[in-house]
Structure 1
Amino acid sequence: MQIDVITDTGKLEGIREDWDRIYNEDPEAQFFLSWTWLSRHLRLYDGTWFVLAAREDGPGTPYVGLMPLRLRTRMDTKTGHFFNEINMAGNYAADYTGALCVPALAQQTMQAFARHIRNLAWTRIHLENMRMSDERLLAFLGQFPRETLALREFSRVNKADNVDNCRCFAATLPESFDAYLDNVLSTNTRQKLRRFMRKVEAGELRITHVDTGTLDRDIDMMLHFWRTRWGARKGDRLQSILRHNKVVLRTSFETGSLFMPVLWQGDRPLGALASFVDPVKREMLFYISGRDETATSIPVGLILHGHSIQLAIARGFGTYDFLRGDEPYKFAFGVTESKIRCAMIYTKDGLNVGNRLDPRTLDGVFAEVTRFHEGGKLEHAENGYRQILDTDPLHGKALYGLGQLVSDRGDHREARQLFKTLTGVAPSVAKIWFRLGFSAQALDDHAAAVEAFRRTLELDRNFNGAKFSMAKSLAELDRAEEAIDTLEALERELEAQGRSDALVVKAEALLTRLKRETRPSYIRLDPQPKSAARQLVTAI
């Protein structure tokens, strides 16, 4: 089987037809793997998502499987060691994750996905909220060698309220709402729901549905109620959760997959409930709700769920899915249970497979390493540079950064090798040749230094530091007259520029010394260097 890797939205759009076809065919497909959900969700993670697309035959043949994934780079804060993780694309946002497969080829497809993934660079694979049959999951897991990799399965029990988020519940819907009330619900729940729905019919309570004009108002109202109920428990994550949910709800509205009724008592909103609508799988999936906690005499949740189920049945849907969690209220709606799996595959040595970083993450790693370097965390910076170069030996920015670092600490031999390699990567960058010359000069290889400085000046004739450094190496090679000529030309340029900085002082001092050593009759007429005289005049 051939696996293609899709990493940009243009190519993603190109497989829309295959995506929808497989989604329609696959009995294990669920809303969070639909094009409607994922094509928008992936855009939140530009640069890190990728989709494995499986073909049974060669290029041009239809795809038979899709596995949406996301790449993440993390760092050991103690060592500065970077490593990669692979996540299911929907991790931390979707209640269910998994893969899409043409049913007849499902096991072969999952095996092919695993064989591709096991050769990528990663330390951990997070299989979070996997909704997948045992046959498919075992076909996938069986491709990872136990000699170097390990598997750990997790429970997802919320300690605050003892809710098990690996237990999922859904109600199977009959052909009519009356049949649902009479045959699915308990007597007490049925009577209570009918009593309050009559209040809605009579106008004592009313239900509206979100539309373009009320979208922002209704979302803000619901999230305000939700925050009042759950905000303290979420702690520092609260604001990011609220922002994320607002994006999800708006995006779902734009794609036509949001169903959001709002319950009112007069002009007072009592609560709202948001669900996703999947017409392909004929499912409605409850996502989030918020209610006025002071309205204790009205069962807001029961009314809104009942209304949603009534509408779902009217649309011919067969399932009302309460998604993750075994909260007690769900059992009142005549639900059946299923389970999802949460597991992690990880390398036993704690290092990326192949001891290399994923090439797609190098720019992000380099940005972090640069912050270490600038912040004086040199050990972390060096480790990061070397990790980048272990993956891409010709990574120009890492070569320069590491060369700079080792040169600053006096390791000029390695710096020279790094800059020499870099001149092959970026031969037209003057400062690289200058750095190469500086390293050669520090190693007393003045002939090589002069050549490097000449190349620097060919690329940038105004690189004054290279002129001074070349003069120093020329002097060390007993080519004093060339050095003097170079310094005199440099002195004229600096004077024309009106400069009086350290380079001026050093150039004048070296020029004076060389003239005294090579021209015994040389006597400087001015009692102090020109730069000092200029500084004195300026001070006066």
Structure 2
Amino acid sequence: MQIDIIEDDETFEKIRNNWDFVYAADPQAQFFLSWVWLSGWLPMVYEQWFILAAKPDTHDSSYVAFFPLKIVLEQQDDGGFYTELYMAGNSVADYTGMICLPSYEEKVIPAFAAYILQQLEWSSFNIQNILETDTRMSRFLKSFPEDSFEFTQHRIHNSGEDTDNYIAPYVSLSDNWEQYLQNYLSSNTRQKIRRFLRKIENSDEFHITHVNADNLESHIEILLKLWESTWREKKGDNCGVIMSIVSANLRHCFEHKCLYFPVLWQGDKPLGAIANFVDVQQKSMLFVITGRDKTFNNPPPGLILHADTIRYAIQNGFKVYDFLRGNEEYKYSFGVKERRLQHIIVKYKNCQNKKWDVRALPLAFHLTVQAHQANQLAKAEQGYRQILEVESNHPEALHGLSVLMRQKGEYQTAENLLKNLLQVQPHSVKALFSLGNLYQTQGQLSEAIEAYNRVLALQPDASAAYNNLGYALQQLGKWEQAIACYQKALELQPECIEAEVNKANALHAQRKLSLDEQAHYAVLNNDLGNKCKQVGDFKTAIAYYQQSISMNPDLAAAQYNLDLVLQEQKLTFKQSVPVI
């Protein structure tokens, strides 16, 4: 078998007809593996998703099986990364798995396993929300040799809840509504449903509306408001995320004509709402989410809406009404059977170094930058170095690590990294600018000036380069040239505080500032010193504090900040000196 990787929306869109053909022919297919559902979910997946697609070893261009997966990036305390493999539908799909033309199972399953073992890097594989009756996954797991892997059954229990989410009740529907009422329900439930449905149908007070293009948004708003009133306290911070995902899924399924969504009303007051996915191909109706007014129970909104949906399903030839995961007591009054789910974790034995897959590199870089911005330097350094182990010429990682090395005072390492970056990208303005900053920090002013001039040759409107060039010239005592650079920076960026303050400092050195101007710029120098200190640039912070004091010796804040940073630097220096 040939295994291809599908990992972008455009390619996924192109294979829809092929996917739908396999889905229709697969008796084990279920809605969360349909092209329609996945096309709505995958764009919302934060992690890197991909689909293994199998086709025979011929020139046939059609695929015979699909296996949706995702790579989840995990980070250790020291900043090191490793990846775990998950089913693409987690964390919202009640069922996961693969779809396959039945005649190709024997070849497809070992081919998928071989690809995962040989072509992907992962430390553990979470096979979650798999039906116990899924014989394909059982055969799939046999491809992982027991001498190399350990297998554990995992069960998640939500604290404070009695519901078992590894049980999925469902109703195997009869051919007609009356037969369902008579054969599936207790006499008490049967009588209630008949009485309450007649009450709704014959009432001027109560009515049920069904979703359409005009009321979709109002229906979603009603449902989520009612749902939130029940679950806000328990779901906490996750409540908003859940509602956002649900609303997006409902809109997507409505657009693809696979949503059944009634709302029960008393006059103009909504009493309850229920949303269901409609799988026409597999003749299944899947209950997704409901919300009801907890202050109203006569007639009971939940009972009425479920009964109305089941009646609709039977009348339209559906064979299954699926309550999905969770064995809540009320579901059993509708004559359900049970499916059981399992969560199996496959881990490498004796894995000394946790593995990570290159597909997770963009997310790894994003997390590393976040750590760097939070001044978690050790964690960020580990992240940058691990990225460069995977991709030695990664431009952003080379630059980020060079900035970090400069912060740590490891100037030679920072310079080497920037020179490596310039070999990869000879015209990188960012690299040249950082190289100028590095030279300036070390007092190599002629080298810094050369770097800034190279920046300006490539990008003549780079106001920051003019500002820094002016500062380098100022340090050489070339005041007029420095002031001209500051003025140019301000012409390009009138709100550039650094250029304004540096220009004022140069004028002050020439005794060209009034007393009021000196007092004003003393405050601004102190503010810039604080900003430099916050990002770890203590040398420049000290220079700004000293400049502030020279302009206004009575500015207590500047003197305090200078003393504080000098003391911190002294302590840092003492701690870095080895004890002999």
**Shorter-chain TM-score range:** 0.7 to 0.9
- Establish whether residue 320 from structure 1 lines up as the match of residue 321 from structure 2: yes
Q: Which residue of 2 aligns with 1:83?
A: 82
Asked whether the 8 Å contact 2:432–2:455 carries over to 1, the reply is no
Instruction: Provide structure 2 residue ranges, at least 5 long, that are not aligned to the other structure.
Output: 490-504, 516-580
Distance (Å, rounded) in 2 between the aligned partners of 1:263 and 1:533: 76
Change (3 A) 1:149 1:268: same
Change (3 A) 1:202 1:452: closer
Change (3 A) 1:454 1:168: same
How many residue pairs end up in the alignment? 490
Normalising by structure 2, report the TM-score: 0.75
Q: Deviation digits for residues 357-385 of structure 1, max 9, x if unmatched? A: 43333233223322332332211111110
Q: Deviation digits for residues 267-307 of structure 1, max 9, x if unmatched? A: 43321221111110111111111122222332322222221
Asked whether the 8 Å contact 1:271–1:289 carries over to 2, the reply is yes
Q: Which residue of 2 aligns with 1:384?
A: 383
SS of the residue corresponding to residue 262 of structure 1 reads strand
Distance (Å, rounded) in 2 between the aligned partners of 1:45 and 1:406: 34
Q: Which residue of 1 aligns with 2:408?
A: 409
Distance (Å, rounded) in 2 between the aligned partners of 1:93 and 1:428: 45
Q: Which residue of 2 aligns with 1:231?
A: 232
Question: Paired residue for 1:535, among 501, 510, 513?
Answer: 510
Give matches, 1:430-445, under 5 Å.
Answer: 432=431
Change (3 A) 1:499 1:239: closer
Q: Deviation digits for residues 483-526 of structure 1, max 9, x if unmatched? A: xxxx89x777436546799xxxxxxxxxxxxxxxxxxxxxxxxx
Q: Which residue of 1 aligns with 2:258?
A: 257
Asked whether the 8 Å contact 2:94–2:129 carries over to 1, the reply is yes
Q: Which residue of 2 aligns with 1:66?
A: 66
SS of the residue corresponding to residue 263 of structure 2 reads strand
Distance (Å, rounded) in 2 between the aligned partners of 1:500 and 1:539: 23
Give matches, 1:137-286, under 5 Å.
Answer: 137-146=137-146, 149-203=149-203, 205-286=206-287
SS of the residue corresponding to residue 369 of structure 1 reads helix
Asked whether the 8 Å contact 2:439–2:447 carries over to 1, the reply is no
Change (3 A) 1:493 1:149: farther
Supply the AA of the counterpart residue of 2:293: D
Q: Which residue of 2 aligns with 1:120?
A: 120
Distance (Å, rounded) in 2 between the aligned partners of 1:442 and 1:233: 53
Distance (Å, rounded) in 2 between the aligned partners of 1:236 and 1:469: 50
1:426 Cα deviation after fit: 0.9
**Identity, % of aligned pairs?**
38
Q: Which residue of 1 aligns with 2:136?
A: 136
1:392 Cα deviation after fit: 0.5
Asked whether the 8 Å contact 1:372–1:378 carries over to 2, the reply is yes
Supply the AA of the counterpart residue of 2:194: R
SS of the residue corresponding to residue 513 of structure 2 reads helix
Q: Deviation digits for residues 198-251 of structure 1, max 9, x if unmatched? A: 223322643221222222222222222222222222122122222222222222
Distance (Å, rounded) in 2 between the aligned partners of 1:214 and 1:500: 58
Change (3 A) 1:385 1:168: same
Change (3 A) 1:149 1:415: farther
Q: Which residue of 1 aligns with 2:482?
A: 494
1:96 Cα deviation after fit: 1.1
Asked whether the 8 Å contact 2:259–2:275 carries over to 1, the reply is yes
Q: Which moved more, 1:142-151 or 1:200-209?
A: 142-151
Supply the AA of the counterpart residue of 1:131: L
Asked whether the 8 Å contact 2:54–2:63 carries over to 1, the reply is yes
Give matches, 1:339-418, under 5 Å.
Answer: 339-347=340-348, 355=355, 357-418=356-417
Q: Deviation digits for residues 176-213 of structure 1, max 9, x if unmatched? A: 11111112222222222122222233226432212222
Q: Which residue of 1 aligns with 2:33?
A: 33
Change (3 A) 1:500 1:456: closer
Change (3 A) 1:408 1:261: closer
Q: Which residue of 1 aligns with 2:523?
A: none
Distance (Å, rounded) in 1 between the aligned partners of 2:357 and 2:510: 55
Distance (Å, rounded) in 2 between the aligned partners of 1:5 and 1:306: 43
Change (3 A) 1:498 1:23: closer
Q: Deviation digits for residues 18-45 of structure 1, max 9, x if unmatched? A: 1001101111100111112111211223
Q: Which residue of 1 aligns with 2:556?
A: none
Change (3 A) 1:333 1:374: closer
Change (3 A) 1:277 1:412: same
Distance (Å, rounded) in 1 between the aligned partners of 2:123 and 2:425: 32
Q: Deviation digits for residues 404-448 of structure 1, max 9, x if unmatched? A: 32344343453344334223211223664676799899999x9xx
Q: Deviation digits for residues 328-359 of structure 1, max 9, x if unmatched? A: 22222222111122232344567776x4x433
Q: Which moved more, 1:278-287 or 1:327-336?
A: 327-336
Asked whether the 8 Å contact 2:97–2:137 carries over to 1, the reply is no
RMSD: 3.5
Distance (Å, rounded) in 1 between the aligned partners of 2:54 and 2:488: 67
Q: Which residue of 2 aligns with 1:14?
A: 14
Change (3 A) 1:305 1:419: same
Change (3 A) 1:533 1:265: closer
Supply the AA of the counterpart residue of 1:45: V
Supply the AA of the counterpart residue of 2:424: V
Distance (Å, rounded) in 2 between the aligned partners of 1:138 and 1:320: 26
Distance (Å, rounded) in 2 between the aligned partners of 1:433 and 1:268: 65
Asked whether the 8 Å contact 2:436–2:451 carries over to 1, the reply is no
SS of the residue corresponding to residue 373 of structure 1 reads helix
Distance (Å, rounded) in 1 between the aligned partners of 2:244 and 2:299: 29
Asked whether the 8 Å contact 1:430–1:455 carries over to 2, the reply is no
Distance (Å, rounded) in 2 between the aligned partners of 1:307 and 1:500: 73
Supply the AA of the counterpart residue of 1:343: I
Q: Which moved more, 1:407-416 or 1:336-345?
A: 407-416
Normalising by structure 1, report the TM-score: 0.80
Q: Which residue of 1 aligns with 2:528?
A: none
Supply the AA of the counterpart residue of 2:384: Y
Distance (Å, rounded) in 1 between the aligned partners of 2:43 and 2:9: 8
Distance (Å, rounded) in 2 between the aligned partners of 1:422 and 1:230: 51
Change (3 A) 1:422 1:171: same
Distance (Å, rounded) in 2 between the aligned partners of 1:48 and 1:216: 30
Q: Which residue of 1 aligns with 2:524?
A: none
SS of the residue corresponding to residue 538 of structure 1 reads coil
Instruction: Provide structure 1 residue ranges, at least 5 long, that are not aligned to the other structure.
Output: 473-486, 502-529
Asked whether the 8 Å contact 1:277–1:284 carries over to 2, the reply is yes
SS of the residue corresponding to residue 90 of structure 1 reads coil
SS of the residue corresponding to residue 326 of structure 1 reads coil
Change (3 A) 1:415 1:328: same
Distance (Å, rounded) in 2 between the aligned partners of 1:157 and 1:496: 68
SS of the residue corresponding to residue 323 of structure 2 reads strand
